[in-house]
Structure 1
Amino acid sequence: MPTSFGDKLVVAISSTALFDLQESHRIFMEQGVQAYSTYQIENEERPLEPGAAFSLVKKLLALNEQGSDSKPRVEVVLISRNSADTGLRIFNSIEAHNLTITRAAFTGGRNPYQYVSAFNAHLFLSTNPEDVRKALESGFAAATIVSKVKADKSSTGNLRNELKFAFDGDAVIFSDEAEKIYKNQGLDAFAKSERASAKSPLKGGPFKSFLAALHQIQRDFSEQDCPIRTALVTARSAPAHERVVRTLRSWDIRIDEALFLGGLSKAEFLRAYEADVFFDDQQFHCDSAGELVATGHVPHGVANE
């Protein structure tokens, strides 16, 4: 019988972001597709270890158990370049780790980005930059997981109840219109332009719709009891802060914390915030943050041209 996800938050994730497939990938690169397939089939009863986005997914799914209304709020779907044969190990691993993921698309090596649209996902996480770029070009929030942090298997059953998201601003939540001025004309021109445009809302970036979907879940809870917390972590500083604040206000979207760092390194602030995941368009910010927290590079905007 046909069904839909209704007003659920839908997150699509690749098998390589969810699980540690480094050994499998090494075999694929060194020995080819057939050796990879044989290896996965021979080991399909051996669960894969958690990958960089495992804890995030675990906590996303736990949102379905939050609140007194028992309302299902999140659907996680698997989108993978594996075949159905090699994908059996992925599904077995999902079951072994007690993840309530029941829907998947296995594309047999082809780019799976079109299924992000078919599932109407609010977010796509992968370790394949090509797949992520295609999803972004199709208008979906997407990020390449670049983090070196993996879930601690011993702690995955006792996770903190609060789920903390951190976002860069320009080219992630907002468009890159202001960043283009900074890149092309320098800091002084950027500050002058932002001061002049302080009351003109920025256009939305690729993660605006995902942030809005998170905000819809937050509305189901009081601010004190909400299991989701969001933070803007930006290199902006005063006076460029005003346009950001007014933009979010015009969108009627709540950000719980805002860090205007004026060019300081973001990594230690993300540690202090205790972020579960951080999204940024700048590769160097992702590289430093990825040592501490799960990090997604958003290959969008002028910094990635």
Structure 2
Amino acid sequence: MSKNFGDKLVIAISSRALFNLDESHQVYEQEGLEAYSRYQVEHEDELLEPGEAFPLVKKLLRINEKLEGEPRVEVILLSRNSADTGLRVFNSIEHHGLNITRAAFCGGESPYRYVSAFGCHLFLSTNAEDVCNALDNGVAAATLISSGSRDRKDDELRFAFDGDAVLFSDESERVFKEGGLAAFTQSEKASAKQPMSGGPFKNFLQALHALQAEFPPRTCPIRTALVTARSAPAHERVVRTLRAWDIRIDESLFLGGLDKGSFLKSYGADVFFDDQQAHCESAKSHVATGHVPHGIANPRANPHSNPDGESSS
């Protein structure tokens, strides 16, 4: 964590995750980078509509209004735009009243290089390659999937996480993939008192937990949930792992393989993170969803992305 930000929760967001840039992205795909750059400059006074992560960012920044003293949440813009083509993005940030003052405009290069320099706990993007690179460099990251989910009109911020390969390592999931359910269950029973290693989102969960601790329990604006396909007896190792980490999860759903989508809707998640595409597809029509391309479920040889100035981010 960068010393410049002290004990802040730092979130990095790509411009295409924050705002709807589909129209300019289409210009890029059909006419190329030069036409895209020209289009952005010509339309820089036209405000952008909110993107997939906009409601989440708005609620994150609103947390600062609930605590006295220095802001505890920092949102940083990371973009493949140049500063010239990115002016439209900052104009839209100002219009929507988002307190985002720091940014890296990378002129066509991947911005993942700056997630560590900024001390980010989480990076959200629509570019799978950037997300994979951030994960490989030890930062929690997810590819936001376009969804039909609706923003909940309140200030409470609800995070939902899958367990294996997200909060925890994929060690148990590997046993399941290689040996089936019986082998997985036997292994988890035998290892019930042995905490699992942390997954890519462990540090982000710890930072959230520290922020939650600054509020009285009944008035905390952040709520967390574990939504896992595990069931008893494989639940015990999860409980003991979180206890060993000294982290409190507000709600834990052990679904035993049931479809996650309806449960996430009932929970009212603002965003859900899962490593498996099938679970993300189930969730996306109900809640904003981030795919975490990590672990045995995600063999990623050469993630495809656009080599342009911004279109993918």
TM-score, normalised relative to structure 2: 0.93
Indicate yes or no: 2:21 matched with 1:27. Answer: no
Residue 222 of structure 1: CA displacement?
Answer: 1.4
Distance in 2, matches of 1:229 and 1:149, equals: 22
Which residue of structure 2 lines up, in the alignment, with residue 115 of structure 1? 114
Which residue of structure 2 lines up, in the alignment, with residue 59 of structure 1? 59
Query: Size of the alignment, in residue pairs?
Result: 298
Does structure 2 retain, via aligned residues, the 8 Å contact 1:143–1:279? yes
SS at match of 2:143: strand
Indicate yes or no: 2:215 matched with 1:216. Answer: no
Distance in 1, matches of 2:287 and 2:260, equals: 11
Q: Which moved more, 1:245-254 or 1:142-151?
A: 142-151
Does structure 1 retain, via aligned residues, the 8 Å contact 2:145–2:289? yes
| 1:1-305 → structure 2 map (5 Å cutoff) | 4-67=4-67, 69-149=68-148, 159-305=153-299
**Coordinate RMSD, CA, aligned:** 1.4
Post-superposition CA distance 1:232-284 (Å, at most 9, x none): 00000000000000000000001000000000010000000000000000011
SS at match of 2:133: helix
Post-superposition CA distance 1:217-240 (Å, at most 9, x none): 011011111110000000000000
Distance in 2, matches of 1:25 and 1:74, equals: 30
SS at match of 2:177: helix
2:242 partner letter: L
Distance in 1, matches of 2:106 and 2:31, equals: 20
SS at match of 1:113: helix
Post-superposition CA distance 1:136-183 (Å, at most 9, x none): 00000000001323666xx8xxx4111000000000000000000000
SS at match of 2:297: helix
Residue 71 of structure 1: CA displacement?
Answer: 4.2
Which residue of structure 1 lines up, in the alignment, with residue 306 of structure 2? none
Residue 288 of structure 1: CA displacement?
Answer: 1.7
Does structure 1 retain, via aligned residues, the 8 Å contact 2:224–2:249? yes
Does structure 1 retain, via aligned residues, the 8 Å contact 2:150–2:287? no
SS at match of 1:271: helix
Distance in 2, matches of 1:151 and 1:60, equals: 17
Distance in 2, matches of 1:103 and 1:151, equals: 28
Does structure 2 retain, via aligned residues, the 8 Å contact 1:140–1:206? yes
Distance in 1, matches of 2:278 and 2:35, equals: 35
Distance in 1, matches of 2:158 and 2:192, equals: 28
2:140 partner letter: A
SS at match of 1:263: coil
Distance in 1, matches of 2:116 and 2:57, equals: 20
Residue 66 of structure 1: CA displacement?
Answer: 1.0
SS at match of 1:224: helix
Post-superposition CA distance 1:190-224 (Å, at most 9, x none): 00000000000000000000000000001101111
1:33 partner letter: L
Identity %: 67
Question: Structure 1 stretches (4+) deviating beyond 2 angstroms?
Answer: 149-152
Post-superposition CA distance 1:68-94 (Å, at most 9, x none): x24411000000000111100000010
Distance in 2, matches of 1:208 and 1:182, equals: 21
SS at match of 1:303: coil
SS at match of 1:57: helix
Distance in 2, matches of 1:147 and 1:265, equals: 19
Unaligned 5+ segments in structure 1 are none
2:172 partner letter: A
1:294 partner letter: A
Distance in 1, matches of 2:134 and 2:3, equals: 24
Distance in 1, matches of 2:31 and 2:89, equals: 20
Does structure 1 retain, via aligned residues, the 8 Å contact 2:76–2:100? yes
- Are residues 15 and 149 of structure 1, via their aligned partners in 2, closer, same or farther at CA, if it must alter by over 3 Å? farther
SS at match of 2:279: helix
1:260 partner letter: F
